[in-house]
Chain A
């Protein structure tokens, strides 16, 4: 495959698309699928067949359009319209209306801030292309970055662009990606050291579904990013470690790998160069700790997912003792655009220290639940009240939880804050992978802290004592507080214990497990006091104990 051949495929595909007078895109990502978008698609196809319009109207399944709350969604691409909450019975009316009018009762305003205020890099193809056809990805400029890098850039030049871009790891910690790449590239000296690339698709944070959406909507983008990374660091074998709870993402990844191999975009001697890359999928099995890189590596090796002390870092000694590059799905998904448009272009978006865009999963008590991508540094208020559409049912905003069980709750007084790595850290939370759970005044913050602690108790791998025993004791103390049996001494003990667990745990899971307690204590201490002194819960939540989880499967 050469660049010319690739462009020929792209042109053929674009010409094929242009033959249709009307193009209807149906969202077939998990959110819309579960509200019945596959039936809507069949309905549309049937109506088209009945009217004999197969040659002028195209219906295709595409990835996530973002506004999961209004699904099933479709867009009439040729007219720039979107329709929401569709049922198969609406298909006839939609087909009738093509080219003449708008079906107003189903229309979704595409000028809503939810759509208008987004800036899409990672999600640029989501909702636009059929994730199960590589030709469509190529027609959208896909794999051009890979072939350009392989044929016109040396490894150092690729890394230089990533360094220039200022891209930071999107998995949570925000480590500079370029730096990580150059460490792995240098590892093992000049010889032919065996190296690996790994894609962390073990999206374990409850309330986060960014990676799932990217994998379901545009799997080739992740493969291309991984291939560029493998070329840059000198790896010839890679693994995608994906949650078993995401069957659709796994299916589309498998298909994408096969398609790319058939076209010679993966496999041996890509683009007739000496670069080869084999990609395999490894299924996770429901362990949150496997998001930690050393635990993830153990799991890829078929062992229990328990972390080990670092150093040595995976960049030096990773998978089977070889230098290994681990990045998150969204990090890889940014790479093709960086190589295509240059690092400087990417660095022009966002804030001084947080470059580019970030995908967030908006969930909880917010009107527009779904997936958004915004430039780094957008004020929290804008995200929640303009894109998110505010709090429904006339209730009042209380806090937004970011970063999952390792993160914290950001209260109302920081709504003006720009969302970037530094600002979130300053108020005691973290960017995390991008989950944003909005909570209104019906949520009790002590109960929320207890919920996350329950999660950590369950997910602690048991290797180190502070985390294994500490999380259980913290949970017991929180339960004592919510049941109204605690004293001030218990609260003091809880604070002390949090500090010890934070300071002495082996890995990130334990070190950050107290974060939800720290941040709720910092901003909602009065609620803790209320449970202890007045034995009341201001949100009226705390009569029932949180559910105890046993077993996972989906």
Chain B
């Protein structure tokens, strides 16, 4: 195994990097901990940027290309910063047939964003999920981490308007 003369140093002196390093230590800096570590970074920073990927690659001794490959392969990881509020619309089968497309339209009409986009003022991000497993509450939407069930289009628009102010 390659040995580095110096330990790779974090991209900045942000304290959150200490937690990322702790997560790598817990996993013995094994290359197979890559996904676990990326989860930690995203949980702490909200997204993965190039500096983060470089740091993780060096620390776990995984080629940067592979780290980039993993980060972009999985839907859960995002390389764009999220807005102040995040709205996740579930587009699972049950939600789809119970009106998720109408909810997407409502957000687009109210805030002018489509899935994967963030408003220009960085207030609201819209994402879709394949299924959040709350099919009994279809259509379901996750507003800033809190699940809302049986969401109607007007309720949806109200919520978005509230966030826009």
Chain A interface residues (CB < 8 Å from chain B): 30-31, 33-35, 68-69, 71, 203-209, 212, 244-246, 282-288, 299-305, 361, 363-365, 369-371, 401, 404, 435, 437, 439, 443, 448, 451-452, 455, 458-459, 461, 544, 546-554
Contacts and interface: CB of A to CB of B under 8 A. Distances in A.
A401 B74 contact: no
A527 to B, nearest CB: 15
26 contacts: A34-B149, A69-B136, A71-B136, A206-B92, A207-B131, A208-B133, A212-B133, A244-B76, A245-B129, A284-B74, A287-B75, A288-B130, A304-B70, A305-B73, A363-B138, A364-B93, A365-B98, A369-B94, A369-B137, A435-B135, A448-B97, A452-B93, A547-B115, A550-B115, A552-B76, A552-B130
Contacts of B38: 285
Given A204-B130, A285-B76, A363-B93, A209 B70 contact: no
Nearest to B140: A34
Nearest to B105: A544
B128 A547 contact: yes
- Most chain-A CB neighbours within 10 Å: which of B76, B86, B105? B76
- Most chain-B CB neighbours within 10 Å: which of A244, A439, A452, A458? A244
A246 B70 CA distance: 20
A425 B66 CA distance: 40
Contacts of B131: 204-209, 245
B10 interface: no
Interface in B2-58: 30-36, 38-39
Given A35-B149, A285-B76, A551 B134 contact: no
A553 B129 contact: yes
Contact of B94 (A34, A244, A284, A364): A364
A549 B93 contact: no
Contacts of B86: 553
Q: How large is the interface on B (under 10, 10 to 19, 20 to 34, 35 or more residues)?
A: 35 or more
Given A285-B38, A369-B136, 19 more contacts: A30-B134, A34-B134, A34-B137, A68-B135, A206-B131, A245-B76, A286-B77, A302-B30, A303-B34, A304-B73, A363-B135, A365-B97, A369-B135, A439-B97, A443-B97, A459-B130, A461-B73, A547-B91, A550-B115
B134 A31 contact: yes
B105 to A, nearest CB: 8
B69 interface: yes
A359 to B, nearest CB: 13
A546 B102 CA distance: 10
Contacts of A363: 93-94, 135-136, 138
Contact of B78 (A208, A209, A548, A553): A553
Contacts of A553: 75-76, 78, 86, 88, 127, 129
A364 B148 CA distance: 17
Contacts of B105: 544
Interface in B80-114: 86, 88, 90-94, 96-98, 100-101, 104-105, 114
B93 A206 contact: yes
Contacts, number: 184
- Most chain-A CB neighbours within 10 Å: which of B36, B62, B135, B147? B135
A463 to B, nearest CB: 11
Interface in B120-157: 127-138, 140, 142, 146-149
- Most chain-B CB neighbours within 10 Å: which of A68, A206, A365? A206
A554 B97 contact: no
A451 B93 contact: yes
A550 B128 contact: yes
Contacts of B130: 204, 206, 286, 288, 455, 458-459, 549, 552
B98 A364 contact: yes
Across the A-B interface, the 9 shortest Cβ-Cβ residue pairs = A68-B136, A550-B116, A285-B74, A206-B92, A34-B147, A286-B75, A552-B75, A363-B94, A363-B135
Contacts of A448: 97
Contacts of B35: 282-283, 285, 299, 302
B137 A286 contact: no
A28 B56 CA distance: 37
Contacts of A361: 135
A365 B38 CA distance: 38
Contacts of A552: 75-76, 127-130
B127 to A, nearest CB: 5
A554 B129 contact: yes
A465 to B, nearest CB: 18
Nearest to A366: B94
Given A302-B34, A551-B115, A552-B127, A209 B134 contact: yes
A203 B132 CA distance: 10
Contacts of A286: 74-77, 130
B149 A549 contact: no
A455 B91 CA distance: 10
B135 A209 contact: yes
A31 B128 contact: no
A286 B78 CA distance: 11
Contacts of B142: 554
A404 B30 CA distance: 35
A452 B105 CA distance: 20
Given A546-B101, A553-B78, A401 B133 contact: no
Contacts of B70: 302-304
Given A302-B32, A437-B93, A437-B94, A551 B137 contact: no
A244 B130 CA distance: 12
Contacts of B136: 31, 68-69, 71, 209, 363, 369-371
A51 to B, nearest CB: 31
Contacts of A401: 93
A71 B78 CA distance: 33
Contacts of A302: 30-36, 62, 70
Contacts of B114: 550
Nearest to B32: A302
Contact of A207 (B101, B135, B146): B135
Contacts of A246: 133
A544 B100 CA distance: 12
A30 B76 contact: no
